[in-house]
Amino acid sequence: MTVAESAQLRLLGKAFTAFNHAAMDLQKSFIQLESKIKELDLELESKNRKLADSLAENKKVRDFLHHILESLQPGIVVLNKGERIAVWNSAACAITGINFSRYKGRNFYQVLSKHSLLEDCTIKEIKALGYGKERVLRFRHGNDFVSILYTLTLLKGSTTFDEAGCIAILQDITRWKRLEDQAERDKRLIAMGELTAKMVSEVRNPLGSIEIFASILQRELAGDVERHRIVGHIIQAVRSLDNLLANYLIFTQSPKPKLQKIPVAAWLDEAANFVGLLPRAKPLEIIKKYHARQPWIMGDRELLKQVALNLMLNAIQAMPAGGKFVIETGDEKDNPTRKGSTGIRKRKEGVAIRFADTGTGIAAEHLEKIFNPFFTTKEGGSGLGLAIVNNIVRAHGGMIEVNSATGKGTSFSIYLPITGNSRGTCTGDVVGHGAIKNAKCKVKNEK
């Protein structure tokens, strides 16, 4: 072997030795890397578990908050900084009648303007209210109006919605508003009643004297036919005026009902049968929808008969060309005239009776006055009919409401408490149903 070959062999040996050392180092590095990867896998797995737990917890929180939002009775609409609709609850849809899911991302005030009937303010005025200020808005549900208390609250420290800016709170105060109006009307009626009672007392005394002296004069003029007839007219006019004053006096005295168990269907049928027998020039269809689960109420039969007859006769007079007249009963909790409405209102268990016609309706400017005494749009009317109806209903612990649209019809709804020990079903045929024997009056019972 030559010196050159020996040098090459030593060099090759050194290269193999270096390669073996490098391979061993590489193996050690690979083992360390593999160990590190396992540690990272364990750490990643732990973080994934924590993230999954966090997501599950966040979902629970979101669901919890959603349930809280849906459980709130006031309507809630969350707006972002651009006054655009971001979040809402079902109560907001029910109270306003607006399906907010159709308007997500739309300007809240534009949507409000489209659906609301603002009688005494504008959208610009509402926006200018600022935070924490209250305003009553009026929304239309069919032919009915709903009073809504509107408040705008600033949303502070929000972390859920980056762009959320404020919350619009909507509360249905329709019943409260009507109670407030009724309380105000009652104050006026009390003052008017006291004045009327004094006036009636003062006027009836001289009227009695006039009638006495006129009667004496009539006897003395027995031989003078013409003068005897004139004095007779005077006496008749005095008696008519005295009768009118007596009715006024009855109105000023709150009726005291003699309570007894009354079957609702029989009471309404009795009044409907009487009205149906009245002669009419045009055909009339009376439709009965008795759906109240409670068949009895506590009340004075004669006084309540006066209520039903008055409302039915008013309805018929409002339909000179004929039409449909609906008598509907339901549970006061269901409230047949306000389906789908919600709000903070606690009501006693009772029966709701609705009298609806397809007549001429009542002008909007007259609606607030129809229960006032002496107010009438009928020629020759005394204006006491609905005032007395209101007094009788109130004396029974009930309430009366009216909804009307000119040219479309009117509905009166009364709510009366039920008897405490009565429970039953009142659907379909019940006691008192019967066809009215009148060719011009058709009766239809609907389940």
Residue 419 clears pLDDT 80, i.e. is over it? no
For 14-20, what is the mean pLDDT? 81
| Structure-token match 């973080």, residue found | 47
**CA Rg value for the chain:** 40
For the record, the structure tokens of 28 come out as 């050690």
What is the pLDDT, as a whole number, of residue 128? 78
Nearest-10 Cα torsion for 144, 146, 147, 151? -150
CB-based contact 297:418 (threshold 8 Å)? yes
The pLDDT of residue 38 is 87
What is the reported pLDDT for 412?
A: 93
State the helix-helix crossing angle for 301-317 and 264-276, rounded to 10 degrees: 40
pLDDT (mean) for 148-173:
74
The predicted model gives 406-416 an average pLDDT of 90
Any idea which of 7-16, 131-140, 378-387 has the lowest mean pLDDT?
A: 378-387
How far apart are alpha carbons 73 and 342 in whole angstroms? 7
| Confidence at 328, pLDDT banded by 50, 70, 90 | very high
For the ranges 12-26, 231-245, 314-328, 413-427, the one whose mean pLDDT is highest: 314-328
Burial of 394 (0-12, 13-18, 19+ CB in 10 A): middle
Q: Is the pLDDT of residue 179 over 60?
A: yes
Question: Percent of the chain at pLDDT above 70?
Answer: 80
pLDDT band at 197 (very low <50, low <70, confident <90, very high): confident
Average pLDDT over residues 89-113: 87
Q: Evaluate the CA torsion angle 85, 89, 94, 95 in order and state its sign.
A: negative
Of 191-200, 331-340, 384-393, 410-419, least confident by mean pLDDT is 331-340
Tell me the β-bridge partners of 287: 326, 444
**pTM (2 d.p.):** 0.48
Q: Which range, of 95-99, 147-151, 172-176, 254-258, averages the lowest pLDDT?
A: 254-258
**pLDDT for residue 245 is more than 70:** yes
pLDDT of residue 379: 66
- Asked if residues 435 and 447 have their Cβ atoms less than 8 Å apart, the reply is no
Residue 261 has pLDDT above 70, yes or no: yes
- At 420, which amino acid appears? G
Assign 212 a pLDDT band (cuts: 50, 70, 90).
Answer: confident
Catalogue the E-assigned strands of 81-163.
85-88, 134-141, 144-154
Closest CA to 108 of 123, 90, 128: 123
Range 193-206 average pLDDT: 75
Lowest mean pLDDT among 81-90, 95-104, 341-350: 341-350
pLDDT band of residue 121 (cuts 50, 70, 90) is low
Name every residue whose Cβ is closer than 8 Å to that of residue 3 and which is 6 or more positions away in sequence: none
Task: Assign 426 a pLDDT band (cuts: 50, 70, 90).
Answer: very low
CA distance 271 to 261: 17
Residue 371 in tokens: 């229960």
pLDDT of 439: 32
Q: Is the pLDDT of residue 218 over 60?
A: yes
pLDDT above 60 for 229: yes
Q: Among 67-81, 253-267, 330-344, whose mean pLDDT is lowest? A: 330-344
Average the pLDDT over 147-163 and give the result. 69
Distance, C-alpha 34 to centroid of its chain: 71
The pLDDT > 90 percentage for the chain reads 6
pLDDT category of residue 346 using cuts at 50, 70 and 90: very low
The answer to whether residues 57 and 154 touch, using CB atoms and an 8 Å cutoff, is no
